[in-house]
Amino acid sequence: MEIELRHLRVVCAIAETGSVTKAAAALGLAQPALTAKLQRIERALGGPLFERDRRGARPTALGELVLARARLLIPAVQSLQVEANQMASGGTGMARYRIGATNGPIVGGLVHRLSVELPSARVSTYATWSADELTGMLLDGRLDYALVGVCGDSTPSAGEGLVWRPVCVDAVFVLMSDEHALAGRPEVRLAELAGEQWANAPGDGCFDECFAAACAREGFTPRHVFETDVSGCVDLVVAGTAVVLCQGAFRQRPGIAMVPIAGAPLRWRHLLGFRPDGTAAAGADDVLAHAVSAYLDVVERSPVYAEWLNDHPTFGAQSAVSA
């Protein structure tokens, strides 16, 4: 493994908090995940960076060396990225929009709106299943903005040092074959789906944990879960082999029924992320407004969800006005 800036940020966070547990909380990671990451960093650097006991974590001699270099390198690279971005944009506003996105319905409309309003700007996109990959690309200056989806009130685990602005909050519905016995219902209780097989697209968020917890509250554990891409999930639903959780703003397709879950126990938020010290920060309000408008266009094409939102005003588009 090669050492990257994100690894140095982890080492600095542990040193600054004096504890792996406190650093995990500050970075939005589970403590075991941060411990495993630290172990990989230590293997790459050739030895332990911290002495750990019940009193916390204290840097070893090797750790002090790494920290001294990290505290010079991180600000230097951040300054370089800011200056390079300013030069690339000519110092007169955003001349390019490098947008990364996880699977979601907004990015197409956002790109269209930016291209129409700013025809001379260079708009590029990067797609991945991994929100952590996008946050790393933001931190390293390879992206200007990232559109990611997260469950509940969480934020991307690797997103320290970034600003995250909400675009929308969607309830999670269930997709099932339109021949399913529950397809005509106005809503379905999660417990009524205890006997179903499920399908899901890959990702590195906490949604699997949220779903499992919601099922546990209803007294069951989900049966077999097929992991495949979005098209594969749709095929399994149409065939009646599985049911699928989906964002309420999912665009309906022939052969599929989209049914609300009673009580809306699961929520999915879309966030726009950027670096507060980069040139992208100056254009963030405009990009957010376009993202919200793109989301509203998606909702308009989903009459079932649009009607549901009328009765559930806490869900849907979030304000595009900067706090």
User: Which sequence spans correspond to the domains of the chain?
Assistant: 5-85, 95-323
pLDDT of residue 84: 67
CB atoms within 10 A of CB 237: 25
Domain 5-85, classified CATH 1.10.10.10, yes or no = yes
DSSP class of 193: G
pLDDT of residue 100: 94
Same fold, 5-85 and 95-323: no
pLDDT of residue 322: 42
Report the C-alpha gap between 150 and 298 in whole angstroms.
Answer: 18
Beta bridge partners of 243: 198
DSSP result, 271-313: EEEE-TTSGGGGGHHHHHHHHHHHHHHHHHT-HHHHHHHHT-T
pLDDT of residue 188: 96
Report the C-alpha gap between 18 and 276 in whole angstroms.
Answer: 26
Report the C-alpha gap between 132 and 125 in whole angstroms.
Answer: 16
Which segments in the chain show pLDDT lower than 50?
90-92, 321-323
For the structural domain made of 95-323, what CATH number should be given? 3.40.190.290
DSSP class of 261: B
pLDDT of residue 41: 92
Beta strands (DSSP E) in the chain are 50-53, 56-59, 96-101, 122-127, 145-151, 163-177, 198-200, 225-227, 243-247, 256-260, 267-274, 316-317
pLDDT of residue 204: 56
User: Where would I find the H helices in 127-189?
Assistant: 131-139
* Six-digit token string for 99: 């947008």
* pTM over cut 0.75: no
pLDDT of residue 91: 46
Radius of gyration of the chain (CA): 22
